[in-house]
């Protein structure tokens, strides 16, 4: 009988070790999520800061040119004529149309693409900028208005997987265009 008690008491430490390892495994999942969340918050803050600087650069560059198309060319923005529809996630989809088609619902949209280092690239990569110019008459002058949207196209990493694209920054700005009298 004494031998049976010894084998039972020998199994108890093994069971305690297995339970302890299980508890640490469950706790480590939550700790890993905290580390990933902290990293994601840091990356998101860096991205938002870069997006603000990019939007301000676009605004100042546009204001320094007399013709928007010249500023867009200097910024590396490509013109797309199309219809804009807002998606459920807040992003905008541009349906291209031929400029010769009926422009009733179409507008000119300027887009630019950036890689993970915020360097300009030709195709969609990590970040994207959309500039929507429009004009309106204000007391006999022309007011040029612009909407600037900056998106991160690749989501941030999470334990649950990569998330969808998100809008990093949106800015509207206007300036009164010089009207030259001849």
pLDDT digits (tens, 9 = 90+) for 39-71: 888 999 999 999 999 999 999 999 998 889 999
Banded model confidence at residue 124, pLDDT cuts 50, 70, 90? confident
Does the pLDDT at position 179 exceed 60? Answer: no
Beta-carbon-side half-sphere exposure of residue 13 (alpha carbons within 13 Å): 4
Sign of the CA dihedral 62, 68, 72, 74?
negative
Q: What b/e readout covers 31-59, taking b as 16+ CB neighbours within 10 angstroms?
A: eeeeeeeeeeeeeeeebeebbeebbeebb
What average pLDDT does the structure give for the chain? Answer: 82
Banded model confidence at residue 6, pLDDT cuts 50, 70, 90? low
Does the pLDDT at position 8 exceed 90? Answer: no
CB-CB contact of 46 with 126 (8 Å): no
CB-CB contact of 117 with 131 (8 Å): no
**H runs (alpha helix) in the chain:** 2-64, 68-75
Nearest to 114 by CA among 86, 148, 153, 167: 153
- What is the rounded average pLDDT of the residues 148-176? 82
Tokens of 105: 């619902």
């Amino acid at each position: 009988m004494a031998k049976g008690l010894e084998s039972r008491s020998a199994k108890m430490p093994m069971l305690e070790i297995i339970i302890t390892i299980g508890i640490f495994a469950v706790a480590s999942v939550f700790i890993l999520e905290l580390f990933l969340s902290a990293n994601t918050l840091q990356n998101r803050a860096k991205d938002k800061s870069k997006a603000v600087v990019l939007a301000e650069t676009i605004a100042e560059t546009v204001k320094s040119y007399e013709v928007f198309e010249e500023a867009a060319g200097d910024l590396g923005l490509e013109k797309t004529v199309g219809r804009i529809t807002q998606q459920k996630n807040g992003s905008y989809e541009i349906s291209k149309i031929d400029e010769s088609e009926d422009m009733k619902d179409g507008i000119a949209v300027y887009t630019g693409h950036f890689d993970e280092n915020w360097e300009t690239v030709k195709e969609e990569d990590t970040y994207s900028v959309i500039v929507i110019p429009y004009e309106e008459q204000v007391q006999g002058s022309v007011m040029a208005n612009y909407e600037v949207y900056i998106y991160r196209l690749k989501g941030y990493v999470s334990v649950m997987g990569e998330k969808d694209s998100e809008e990093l920054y949106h800015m509207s700005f206007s300036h009164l265009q010089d009207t030259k009298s001849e």
